[in-house]
Amino acid sequence: MRIKKKLDWFLVINNIFLLLVAAVCVLPMIHILAISLSSSAIASTGTVTFWPKEFSLTSYEFVAQRKAFWDSMLVSLQRIALGGAINVVLATTIAYPLSKEKKDFSFRAFYAWTFFITMIFGAGLIPTYMLVKELGLIDTVWALILPGAVPVFSVIVLLNFFRLTPKELSESAFIDGAGHWRTLWSIYVPVSMPAIATILLFSLVGHWNSWFDGLIYMNNPSNYPLQSYMQTVVVQKSFTTLTPEEAKVMAKISDKTLKSAQIFLGALPIICAYPFLQKYFVKGMVLGSVKG
């Protein structure tokens, strides 16, 4: 009975702790949303907490009129679509041979260490920029995708997950005449969806939140991804061109509500996508890290 009571108290304390952690993650976004939906005068006083005061959509009206904002949103959507697909395909095709035993793939250790070293040592910013420039990728979406096309951490996660897959599955496929490609896409990929969903989530969040590479590789601001655009208008406060309609709206809003509206809109797509992948997230990480 005493053991049962201690266990119940542990669950209660643990649940309270997790609720507090969740609140720490959620409340800042609720606060940002409340500011963005408040009037500029009230927001400037700093009295808005978690509920809008003097409800106003003026900041969102201004953002909706900004063609540059939606152009950068389109660039980011294109980036995560191409980048996510390339990251998952390359990580999957690399992890499969590296998950084999040495008798099946003699140079497995050599290639595994080759990829692992890139996690510790990088070429540096200047050599990377020179390579991207020489390849003619400046001012293209490929400059944002190809330098990080092979996510080594994702390869390690999938590699360990593939090693946990029963060998009998692949052996039965080989007996039926399937080759390595058919075995990979028909056997390993379907049973590894939790791990694949995990690395896909990593890829989407990484591409969506990246802003520095956009400033480096894009000479034309119209090619900025969303986070690079937001860095120029939220941090640097650089509005290069304003139409007469935008100038009228700008006069009615404060810098604080405008920043909050753009920050919330910038985070909204990932917030919406995360629940669909969250159920795979923990399972993929745990199973992919059991065996090293």
Which tens digits make up the pLDDT trace of 141-161?
A: 999 999 989 999 889 888 888
C-alpha–C-alpha distance, residues 10 and 4, integer Å: 10
Q: For the segment 193-224, what is each residue's pLDDT rounded down to a tens digit?
A: 888 888 888 898 889 988 898 899 998 888 89
Across all residues in the chain, what is the average pLDDT? 81
Q: Please tell me the number of Cα atoms within 13 Å of 221 on its side-chain side.
A: 13
In whole angstroms, how far apart are CA 100 and each of 80, 92, 111?
Answer: 30, 13, 12
Tell me, yes or no, whether 53 lies in a domain.
no
Q: For the segment 100-144, what is each residue's pLDDT rounded down to a tens digit?
A: 887 778 888 888 888 888 888 877 888 899 999 999 999 999 999
Domain of 92 in residue numbering reads as 59-287
Tell me, yes or no, whether 234 lies in a domain.
yes
In the prediction, which pLDDT does 192 show? 84
Q: Where are the alpha helices (DSSP H) in 135-219?
A: 142-145, 152-164, 167-175, 180-183, 189-191, 193-209, 212-217
| Between 86 and 288, the higher pLDDT residue | 86
Q: Where are the alpha helices (DSSP H) in 37-151?
A: 40-45, 58-65, 67-98, 108-120, 125-134, 142-145
47-57: b or e for each residue (b if 16 or more CB lie within 10 Å)?
ebeeebbeebe
In the prediction, which pLDDT does 75 show? 92
Tell me, yes or no, whether 185 lies in a domain.
yes
C-alpha–C-alpha distance, residues 209 and 224, integer Å: 13
CA angle 45, 50, 55 (to 5 degrees): 65
Residue 109, burial from CB neighbour count under 10 angstroms (0-12, 13-18, 19+):
exposed
Tell me, yes or no, whether 20 lies in a domain.
no
Write the CATH number for 120: 1.10.3720.10
Give 30's DSSP letter. Answer: H
Q: For the segment 15-25, what is each residue's pLDDT rounded down to a tens digit?
A: 899 899 888 88
What tokens were used for 102?
């040495």
pLDDT of 241 above 60:
no
C-alpha–C-alpha distance, residues 136 and 188, integer Å: 36
In the prediction, which pLDDT does 170 show? 80
What is the percentage of the chain residues whose pLDDT exceeds 70? 85
| Between 247 and 254, the higher pLDDT residue | 254
In the chain, how many domains are there?
A: 1
Chain centroid to Cα 105, Å, comes to: 33
C-alpha–C-alpha distance, residues 218 and 233, integer Å: 16
What is the percentage of the chain residues whose pLDDT exceeds 90? 15
Tell me, yes or no, whether 21 lies in a domain.
no
Residue 203's nearest CA partner among 242, 157, 139, 172 is: 157
Counted residue by residue, the chain has a size of 292
For the beta carbon of residue 63, count every other beta carbon within 10 angstroms: 20
What tokens were used for 188?
């390993």
Tell me, yes or no, whether 19 lies in a domain.
no
Torsion of CA 47, 50, 56, 57, to 10 degrees: 130
Residue 227's nearest CA partner among 206, 203, 209, 201 is: 209
Tell me, yes or no, whether 283 lies in a domain.
yes
Average pLDDT over residues 168-177: 80
Tell me, yes or no, whether 1 lies in a domain.
no
In the prediction, which pLDDT does 1 show? 47
